[in-house]
A and B are shown apart, each in its own frame.
Chain A
């Protein structure tokens, strides 16, 4: 069974490097990470790896580098698809890799990249690696370890206990599904997408999250200052900013703790929904990026569902692989 790699060359370079102390990661390092994943997966006997084509040619650069190392690159393939240089590339690459029957897709990027891939896949497990900014969904793991987990997963008959089916927020405007978020949907008083990221706490009206914890970075950390909702809990949470609410401090961006006043957290069970309308034009930021514009009076509905992507539990997968003897040699 094959493995797919989707690496977003645009992650980790936006305005958050100015408005917070966000991490900077250059694309040559992403090439390096993908190279480590690829070498690991090849060492474990995988015969087919698909790469998403992108504006930096990460996949081609990895293949060229491995060719120079005199490795057999016959099983490495950059999939054929048009490249727009936008988020749609990740959505489309996810769709194609699922059609190709890949056993696991490793995703390099931020929360936004994972969200994009999640829109393109239904059943293929995703292993998200953080190369973005304020990441909650992808985690900082070494490419070698990610490669080991992805490879192991493709050799297992039953992957259920190595993955979690994540929750997601479905965003409806006037009853029509407009988009999804994996971690948080934040309503902010903006009227255009602009630099995409949101960072001004005073503009925030409401935050809906599938999970929240005070030890995360981003707007899901805000309800996390009052309550904790885990990825395994069958619920989400909603808070609104209110002048007479409870004062909290939360890490909305790297190195940036903001004070906000919140209503009591409202728990929304999986399958449940929350409706809102606003008198002003608002933008809904999905996983930290302004995406959906809402006009005054339009009805917004946020549904918490457990129909998100299957996310690989890296350590658990590698532990199972070890117990299966996958790392024993002659």
Chain B
């Protein structure tokens, strides 16, 4: 891995972009400008940033209901994302999907998903498609610890292992499934332990350390690209907010929250950059300022965009794909 300054800058830029986007989404939701539900990725930025830094543009990701971070890290357009959150016609899904259904086929973003664990099955399909087309692409499947009790998790890992699919299953273990701490829904602490049951490697890494995530996922992605099959990577991290905006998260012990805030991935990275990475405080601030401007532009784009017309409600309901298939 090249330990160069550009790589470090890119990692931080992505993390900062996610943080800024999510902080704005949090405030805009509180102001009543964003309808529906918003599940924020605050505190988990190092996972998506570290993993996606190893991906090519033609690789794929599947996401979750907490998907903004994954989409930003894979190159999603902030303007179209924010417009979608606002329910505007210029959004990724023309304002019909909202926060939990953002997708961008041009960038390999198969989509966020409101159904817990659905991304696992979808990624298995993507992996099969890659296998059948004999390319060296990879699919990364992001999901939370809560979803690893779903049948989709077990079915997907089993099939991916049996078919040797090029998938990296990335479990973002943030300690909670909605309001349930992991200890109340699993007898294990390390989800990675479950990999052995499917005959694939399972590894644990510090999900709040972007370098640890990047290094670990790089090896898993390399394995997948070389045809060595799937890997389960568990990133230990923490959801700094409630399950969704509006959830007061009273079930989270104060001490736990405080301890994890001290391990904030952005603080850790910016400190490393100035203390050890050869960056000046001004260089870090320049990145922060750049990101602030990008997100402010995205918010303005969303605010200035029109709402979808009532007539558009019946558009895009059915795809032309059926006809295309018939023509073959």
Contact = CB atoms under 8 A, between A and B. Distances in A.
Secondary structure at the A interface, as helix, strand, loop or mixed, is loop
Contacts of B64: none
B207 to A, nearest CB: 12
A18 B211 contact: no
Given A9-B189, A26-B193, A15 B3 contact: no
A196 to B, nearest CB: 7
A24 B3 CA distance: 29
A11 B29 CA distance: 42
A13 B209 contact: no
Given A15-B203, A195-B205, A28 B188 contact: yes
Nearest to B183: A57
A13 B192 contact: yes
A278 interface: no
Given A192-B276, A194-B209, A195-B212, A14 B203 contact: yes
Interface in B244-298: 259, 272, 276-277
Interface in B167-206: 187-190, 192-193, 195-196, 201-205
A18 B276 contact: no
A293 interface: yes
Interface in A16-32: 17-19, 24, 26-28
A194 B206 CA distance: 9
Nearest to B236: A85
Interface in B189-247: 189-190, 192-193, 195-196, 201-205, 209, 211-212, 214-216, 219-220, 223, 231
B204 A19 contact: no
B231 A18 contact: yes
A9 B189 CA distance: 9
Given A13-B203, A15-B219, A17-B203, A193 B189 contact: no
B226 to A, nearest CB: 12
A16 to B, nearest CB: 8
B326 to A, nearest CB: 44
Given A27-B193, A56-B189, A15 B205 contact: yes
Interface string A186-205: 00001111111000000000
A237 interface: no
Interface string B159-170: 000000000000
Contacts of B209: 193-194
A10 interface: yes
A195 B189 CA distance: 19
A193 B219 contact: no
A163 B187 CA distance: 38
Interface string A61-95: 00000000000000000000000100000000000
Range class of the B interface residue count: 20 to 34
A322 interface: no
B49 to A, nearest CB: 14
A55 interface: yes
Nearest to B50: A194
Contacts of B205: 14-15, 195
B216 A13 contact: no
A13 B211 contact: no
A192 B188 CA distance: 30
B3 A27 contact: no
A192 B5 CA distance: 12
Contact of A293 (B190, B203, B214, B276): B276
A77 B157 CA distance: 39
A193 B189 CA distance: 24
Contact of B3 (A13, A18, A19, A192): A192
A24 B199 CA distance: 11
A268 B203 CA distance: 37
B171 to A, nearest CB: 13
A196 B187 CA distance: 27
Given A13-B202, A193-B211, A194-B214, A18 B220 contact: yes
A56 B182 CA distance: 11
Interface in A282-314: 293
A171 to B, nearest CB: 18
B212 A196 contact: yes
B212 A18 contact: no
Given A13-B202, A55-B189, A195 B215 contact: yes
Contacts of B204: 10, 13-14
Contacts of B196: 24, 26
Contacts of A14: 203-205
Nearest to A295: B276
B216 A15 contact: yes
Interface string A254-296: 0000000000000000000000000000000000000001000
A24 B232 CA distance: 13
Given A18-B203, A18-B223, 6 more contacts: A9-B189, A17-B201, A18-B201, A27-B190, A195-B205, A293-B276
28 contacts: A9-B189, A13-B190, A13-B193, A13-B204, A15-B219, A17-B201, A18-B216, A18-B220, A18-B231, A19-B219, A24-B195, A24-B201, A26-B190, A26-B193, A27-B188, A27-B190, A27-B193, A28-B187, A28-B193, A84-B259, A190-B3, A191-B276, A192-B3, A192-B277, A194-B211, A194-B212, A194-B215, A293-B276
- Considering the complex of A and B, which 10 residue pairs feature the smallest CB-CB distances, nearest first? A194-B211, A18-B219, A195-B215, A26-B193, A13-B204, A194-B215, A191-B3, A56-B189, A192-B211, A195-B212
